[in-house]
Amino acid sequence: MVITQPLPTVKTRGPGLQQEIAASFGLPEDFANAPRETLADDMVLERLDLKVLKMAPEVTEWHCIRADHAAMADADQWSDLLDCLRFADQARAAASGGKRVATLISRGARSALAAALEARDWPAAEAELARFEVMFESHEEDYAAAHLLAQAHLDLAWAKRLVGQEGSLSRDMWKETTAHVARAEDVLSLFDPIEEMSPILAATRYQLVRGIEGGRTLCRDWYEDWCDLDPTDADIHAIHAQHLLPHWFGTLANFDREAKYAAALTDAQTGDAAYAVFYMAAAEILGTFPPGMDVQQFLSGLADFQAATGCQYRANLVANIMVELMEDFAIEGASKSYELGLTRAALSDLLWNRLTEVHLAAWRDGATGFVFALNQIFGPALLRGARIGVRGNGLAARMPDDRAVA
């Protein structure tokens, strides 16, 4: 069955602009004017000769790291756990997908506390916090122990404030959260992230900006310190970006300027990746991208973000974002035809040269979203009976008789 998807033909601005865009990506000159006839989802899925996974292997790896260190914390194996945390932190060790191993170890160590907070079981949460206090008493000279205790206090403080925001935050609960923030600040004051060369310590100190006087002023300084310690960690930019939205310390009017500043700060290490991470993080909070995005820089940033690890987790994540962008631009019509053409060209480059397996959980509409992407790039070949498989570092279309489709 052949269906028609509601994506309009692209009409780029100015003579030759369409060809210029296509040429920059090594695409046919008429590429921006993709055909509108496409195959139904089930027909496309039957033509795939590549891995189609429900969950990314990278996510499974993160879960295993957290689970291993949760077990160590449950068994009070604090000395070994702190050694692991400190080593990973100093090495800037990254798991698949770019996640920092130290962050995963820390989250694992705080798993029981997180479960109590999710259930809003305050007595259980306080009991877990007491365990961290006892741990710290035996490891007061260890900055990793200070991080865990301070982070546990902040976890509890933010959880209680969130509950208060949903209803009304009583005076007593506000005092409790303030006391937790103060305790975290006192513990963190014993160590300097720069002197310790510790990104994980800088991360916890940064979170203090939500609850201390002068947080607005310290926000940028502590972000820059954190960046200096681990400039390739995308989570740093994501967390800072969310603090630059209107509900914290920023405005939508200034957001693009801040995103450009972040990209300039780490350009030597990750190109425009920070710019893209800023907008991705903001979209998680707002449900849409903030206004003022430089689409060319964003697409460049997405490419740099994926190239930083070269992993399939990020390849799927980026491809899905590009599809969502294309859908948004298509809805806006002719005024966004240029941006639509750029995004379709960037998606083509990603599928042809970077993506080799599918992680359905990364796509907003699962298999439907991925099929939409394939139809946009390989539509004509699919209509001619081609199959989609892996060739080199990306996808390619081949006819059943094994002929490559031009």
Q: What is the pLDDT of residue 168?
A: 61
Q: Is the same domain home to 67 and 184?
A: yes
Q: Is the same domain home to 69 and 210?
A: yes
Boundary (domain end) residue, out of 308, 329, 345: 308
222 inside domain:
no
Q: What is the pLDDT of residue 35?
A: 44
Q: Is the same domain home to 241 and 198?
A: no
Q: Report which of 247, 201, 242, 238 is spatially closest to residue 222, judged by C-alpha positions.
A: 201
Boundary (domain end) residue, out of 308, 325, 340: 308
Q: Report which of 372, 363, 285 is spatially closest to residue 321, judged by C-alpha positions.
A: 363
Boundary (domain end) residue, out of 285, 308, 331: 308
Question: Average pLDDT for consecutive 10-residue bins of the chain (406 residues)?
Answer: 31 38 43 57 92 96 98 98 98 98 98 96 96 98 98 96 72 85 97 98 97 92 97 97 95 97 96 98 95 97 98 98 94 93 97 97 94 93 94 94 64
Q: Is the same domain home to 89 and 168?
A: yes
- Record the pTM: 0.88
Q: What is the pLDDT of residue 40?
A: 84
Q: What is the pLDDT of residue 24?
A: 42
Q: Is the same domain home to 152 and 3?
A: no
Q: Which domain holds residue 404?
A: 1-50+314-406
178 inside domain:
yes
350 inside domain:
yes
Provide the domain count of the chain: 3
Ramachandran class of 136: left when φ > 0, alpha when ψ lies in -120 to 50, beta otherwise: alpha
Q: Is the same domain home to 63 and 129?
A: yes
Q: Is the same domain home to 29 and 15?
A: yes
Q: What is the pLDDT of residue 34?
A: 44
Q: Report which of 304, 379, 318, 334 is spatially closest to residue 28, judged by C-alpha positions.
A: 379
Question: Which element (helix H / strand E) includes 7?
Answer: none
Q: What is the pLDDT of residue 167?
A: 65
Q: What is the pLDDT of residue 401?
A: 75
Q: Is the same domain home to 326 and 303?
A: no
CA distance 394 to 399: 17
